[in-house]
Copies of this chain bind each other. A is one copy, B any other.
């Protein structure tokens, strides 16, 4: 006797949540699309794995995880009678799945080295529009939600806001793969406490401690992982390498590069090119982490001594020393260091910027002030978390912390003391 299986829903294994169920065939087909599959080859946290060796998870995994949380959020809100239609539900899954599709390899580091004047958000939108053509307009509502042009504003907030599924997943996932337990949050409690008031996503007051923990976790993850000083040293090195390689390419030097990277080394595309010419987008879609690293490994043998030196440093993880402090560094210290480097490494004064980097990092981009998290009390009152919380206060939450760094080869350091 035989019974043919039917209605089997596709399931993905995920170490963070156990299983991720694909809600329907359209979503499955989007996942199968090469534009999305390429995210399998782009690490979520760039070079962070040079410090946290487990952090080699991909943007593909994150997108899937965020969609999984969206399914839970929709279930919670529907159970509380905030009617989300089937069409809107589907659009939410598409929007969150594709919210980061515009990322290229190491994009936090390379957004201004490989492409210029175009952000990954712009690129996400271009990819979505292109996919909308391919899928005969089935992504239209998703795009409206993503762009916040859809009538129900709280749907956009599920995709992009202080409380979106993007943040919940990346904190959970980055904690899991880095092993930094400080980032673990009560994501399930937060989702269960979601509610909607006046078309705005809010948190029921029982969830207030989970929200406090979530805000603190995020800040700690910034300083402990995302802005870890060694990671920054590695990323600056990567930026400098690409800068030097482009410089050489543009002056006619012949560099080895994978075909996908060669396009971007020898051409400069404007934002308009991406919008107008599908070939530009497709060229970008060919790029992934492999192209960058395979090319850099080849450049360790390039005759340009600066390029080869920088590449060797990165490939063999012989990273630069980085100093980080709250105050700017004294100009005399900087000048003195530059002099020693120049003399010691026998380089031209114009090239000093390849071996001495200075700058600032700040977590102000993560502005706790701009976009409120409102807490819903059982008497119906809505109060901003910064007032509702006994632990947190606005002053601390909104404080943007800026740190100054200088970064230079390790052996130099010894010469100075």
Contacts and interface: CB of A to CB of B under 8 A. Distances in A.
Given A7-B79, A297-B258, A380-B4, A13 B178 contact: yes
Contacts of A381: 2
A379 interface: yes
A1 B382 CA distance: 8
A135 interface: no
B181 A185 contact: yes
A120 interface: no
A27 interface: no
Contact of A216 (B5, B6, B213, B224): B213
Interface string A292-327: 011101100100000000000001111000000000
Contact of A294 (B37, B219, B294, B316): B294
A3 B197 CA distance: 7
Contacts of A315: 34, 37
A377 to B, nearest CB: 9
Secondary structure class of chain A's binding surface, majority of residues: mixed
Interface in A366-384: 376, 378-382
Given A13-B180, A220-B209, A259-B298, A195 B316 contact: no
B188 A19 contact: yes
Interface in A47-62: 49-54, 56-58, 60-61
A67 interface: no
Contacts of A297: 258-260, 286, 288, 290-291
Nearest to A189: B19
Interface in A16-43: 16, 18-19, 21, 32, 34, 37, 40-41
Interface stretch (A91-99, A156-164, A350-358, A388-396): A388-396
A204 interface: yes
B213 A220 contact: yes
Interface string A136-164: 00000000000000000000000000000
17 contacts: A5-B195, A6-B81, A7-B79, A7-B80, A13-B53, A13-B178, A16-B54, A18-B188, A19-B189, A19-B192, A37-B317, A40-B317, A41-B293, A181-B185, A182-B209, A216-B216, A258-B298
Given A14-B54, A15-B177, 19 more contacts: A1-B198, A4-B379, A12-B53, A19-B188, A32-B316, A37-B316, A53-B60, A54-B61, A56-B56, A181-B186, A182-B209, A182-B210, A216-B391, A256-B259, A258-B297, A259-B298, A259-B301, A260-B298, A288-B297
